[in-house]
A and B are shown apart, each in its own frame.
Chain A
Amino acid sequence: AQTVTQSQPEMSVQEAETVTLSCTYDTSENNYYLFWYKQPPSRQMILVIRQEAYKQQNATENRFSVNFQKAAKSFSLKISDSQLGDTAMYFCAFMKPYGGATNKLIFGTGTLLAVQP
C-alpha cells in the first residue's frame, strides 16, 4: 500500500525568506501523481502544485517549486519569498493515475508552516 510521510510537523520562516517542506512516499508503481495542498485557517483545501511522475522536470508555480527525486521517492516543496499569507497547513498527497478502486488520494500528516513578520 502507498504511504506518504511528512517528517516536519511544524516549521517557521521569516517573511521574504525561503523554506523547504519535506515529503517522502512509498510505492511500487512507476506512474503516479504527487500534489502539495495548502489548508489555511479557513480549512479550505487549495492545490498548490502538481507533479506527474513520468516528467523529469520539476513543477513550478510562481513562488512555489518542487524537488522531485523519483529514485529516492522524495517530493519536497520550496516556497520562495515567503509571505504572511503562506501561513497554513501543507499536505503532500499521492495518487495513482488509474481509474477504479486503485485511484485513491493518500495524504501525509501535514506540516504547519508559520510565516513570521
Chain B
Amino acid sequence: SQTIHQWPATLVQPVGSPLSLECTVEGTSNPNLYWYRQAAGRGLQLLFYSVGIGQISSEVPQNLSASRPQDRQFILSSKKLLLSDSGFYLCACTRGNTEAFFGQGTRLTVV
C-alpha cells in the first residue's frame, strides 16, 4: 500500500520568509497528488492537485504555489509568507479508485 512522507511536521516562519513543504510517495506510481489546508477546527480546503509530472491545477487563488518535479514528489512553496498562510497542511494521494492516503501533516505558524 501507499505511504506518504511529509515534512517537516512543525514549522514556525516569520512573515515574508519563503516556504517549502515536501511530500513523497512510496508504493505506487503515477498517483494523483493533493495539497490540502486545514484551519484550526475547520474542514479541508483543496489547494492544488496534480495528475502527473509538471501538471498542477490550482483550486483557489492564493499566495502559494505547487510543483511536481518527479512522479512521486509534490512540493508546496511560497516566496513570501503571510500571516493568513498559517494552518495545517496535508499531502494526499489517490491511485485509481482506491482510498486517499495522507501524510502526517505540517503545522505551519507564520509569526
Contacts and interface: CB of A to CB of B under 8 A. Distances in A.
A106 B104 CA distance: 19
Contacts of B41: 112
Interface residues of B, number: 23
Contacts of B38: 43
Q: State the main secondary structure of chain B at its contact with A.
A: strand
Interface string A80-117: 00000000000101010101110111111110100000
A105 B94 contact: yes
Nearest to A42: B104
B105 A101 contact: no
Interface stretch (A15-23, A44-52, A63-71): A44-52
Name, among A97, A103, A109, A110, the residue most crowded by chain B CB atoms within 10 Å (CB to CB).
A103
A57 B96 CA distance: 22
A101 B55 CA distance: 9
Given A33-B97, A95-B94, A101-B51, A107 B44 contact: yes
Given A44-B102, A47-B99, A101-B57, A106 B46 contact: yes
Contacts of B43: 6, 91, 107-110
Interface in B8-51: 32, 34, 36, 38, 41-44, 46, 49, 51
B86 to A, nearest CB: 15
Interface of B: 32, 34, 36, 38, 41-44, 46, 49, 51, 57, 88, 90, 92, 94, 96-97, 99-100, 102, 104-105
